[in-house]
Amino acid sequence: MNMNDSSSPVVIQVTDVIERQKINAFVIRLVAISWLVTFLDGFDMLVISFVAPYLRDGFGADVISLGELFAVGVFGAMLGGIAFGWLGDRFGRRPVIIASVAAFGLTSIAMVLAPGMQALMMLRFLNGVALGGLMPLAWALNIEYVPGRYRATVVTVIMIGYTLGGVVAGPVTVWLAPHFGWQSVFMASGVVTLLIVPLLFALLPESARYLAVKGRSPEKIAMALNALEPGLGARPQDRFVVIDEAAAPAGQNFRIATLFKGDLRPITSLLWLAYIGSSMAVYFKSNWGPIIFEDVGFTRTQAAMIMSVSSIGGSLAGLALMRFTDRLGPIAIAVYPMLAAPLLLLMGLAPVSLQGLAVFSLLSMAMISGTHFGMHSIAGIFYPSAIRANGAGWATSVAKIGSIFAPLLGGYLLAMNMPPRLLFVLLAATPLLSAVSLVLLARAGKRRAAATPAPIETIVPPAQAVTTRP
């Protein structure tokens, strides 16, 4: 039975409440909402590659301008990840997630009005800024509500929404664009996205762990913890502590040097390198895949279907990986890029038929997408709550270096009349970079874990050192 509100305040260890929970209705609802918004994020981010052939026909866009269009959206996403990550650690995950979703819905609708490629590029940049801010915050919010043993799994499940958004983008474009123009695809996406915003206002919680570290809103912490553990009886007057992290110093602003402080230096460096390799591979194939497959002999519909089916394969590869990542860490992820590299070499160098090329492409893209799933699942787990959104935001944003470089490089190489299949040979270097970096990251993570002492319990008066009431 809970004590009444007149009883003395007690200390509630937020970490313990989160770590001892089973996955319940509160967490399932949070994951479902996050899945939905990342689905829309994935649709908006990846639909541009399926719309590209229609832009080539309607706007007369050449491969150089298409490469620039792909790149400017990714560049916007890079800046958005940094900016929204900073905002998320400063003002909270919830309000910034809602702002991001509203912004990419509005900019999607604005793209419908673009009179030419220059205007479309400007709007795609703004759209990318909004899109890039969402995922690091969604990961941070979910990581801070689930036990450590489920973190990679939950992030992977959420990212399946992103991938399936990309899967749906192909068929939706083929369905709408020939009859209503490419603008109809962005209009549909923007309208549906804006309809989700009221749902987020009503159902999306703020991170209890984040609020406790920041020393804010005890009433929201109590409400969230009571939803996580019915019967806990947490009250706003109780004291909420996070025993596995230091409290955030009042008024201290984030600096990028914090991500390289102490044992985070090798971890951040290797995480960024692995992410750059993974993003370069994913964005090259997602942006240029439909056009390259058309150029080697597939029809436009076949090219779109190959890309969509390969995205499903990537989702399955990510699902197969997630529990291994929770148990083994980055070393589990390294297997996929080790398999992807030789497949890409075969696609570029061997005399493979169109049917064989389709099979190898499906397999290699599944491995590449599976690697990217794995990178997403570990992007935020190395950082404490006070800087988690910044850590994940910077990781995903720096990864966009590869995402920007890949479509630009592809455009210039295709403009030089390089045989399309040879591009796969060059692409094979990117999973190798990820594989080496992940192996070294796993070693750095083990050294860090071995050197980290057990969490220091918060010192409180003995009579108050309890987490639940009788």
pLDDT at 464: 41
In a domain? residue 463: no
Tell me how far apart the alpha carbons of residues 470 and 466 are, in angstroms, rounded to a whole number: 10
Closest CA to 63 of 412, 333, 442: 412
Q: What is the DSSP letter of 217?
A: -
Helices and strands, counts by H and E, the chain? 17, 2
User: Three-state DSSP class for 32?
Assistant: helix
In a domain? residue 465: no
The count of structural domains within the chain is: 1
The phi, psi pair for 239, rounded to 5°, reads -100, 125
Tell me how far apart the alpha carbons of residues 194 and 173 are, in angstroms, rounded to a whole number: 20
Tell me how far apart the alpha carbons of residues 314 and 291 are, in angstroms, rounded to a whole number: 20
User: Three-state DSSP class for 12?
Assistant: strand
Assign residue 57 the CATH number of its domain.
1.20.1250.20
Q: Judge contact between 304 and 290, C-beta under 8 A.
A: yes
User: DSSP assignment of 140-199, as one string?
Assistant: HHHHTTS-GGGHHHHHHHHHHHHHHHHHHHHHHHHHHHHHH-THHHHHHHHHHHHHHHHH
Tell me how far apart the alpha carbons of residues 94 and 88 are, in angstroms, rounded to a whole number: 8
In a domain? residue 461: no
In a domain? residue 466: no
Give the pLDDT of the chain (470 residues) as one tens digit per residue: 344 455 788 888 888 888 888 778 898 999 999 999 999 998 998 888 888 888 877 676 777 788 788 888 888 988 888 888 889 888 999 999 999 999 999 999 999 998 888 899 999 999 999 998 888 889 889 988 988 778 878 888 888 888 788 878 888 998 898 889 889 999 999 999 999 999 999 999 999 988 988 888 899 999 999 988 888 888 989 889 887 665 544 445 678 888 888 888 899 999 999 999 998 888 787 777 777 777 777 787 888 788 778 777 877 887 788 778 878 888 989 999 999 999 988 888 888 888 888 888 888 888 988 888 888 778 777 887 778 878 888 887 888 788 777 777 777 777 777 777 787 888 888 899 999 999 999 888 888 777 655 444 333 333 344 444 43
Tell me how far apart the alpha carbons of residues 340 and 113 are, in angstroms, rounded to a whole number: 40
In a domain? residue 349: yes
Report how far apart, in Å, the C-alpha atoms of 214 and of each of 145, 207, 413 are: 16, 11, 49
Q: 3-state SS string over 307-344? A: HHHHHHHHHHHHHHHHHHHHHHCHHHHCHHHHHHHHHH
Q: Judge contact between 93 and 205, C-beta under 8 A.
A: no
| Radius of gyration of the chain, Cα coordinates, nearest whole angstrom | 23
- List the domain range (segments joined by +) for residue 97: 11-450
pLDDT at 250: 44
pLDDT at 252: 55
pLDDT at 291: 77
pLDDT at 461: 36
Tell me how far apart the alpha carbons of residues 166 and 60 are, in angstroms, rounded to a whole number: 25
In a domain? residue 338: yes
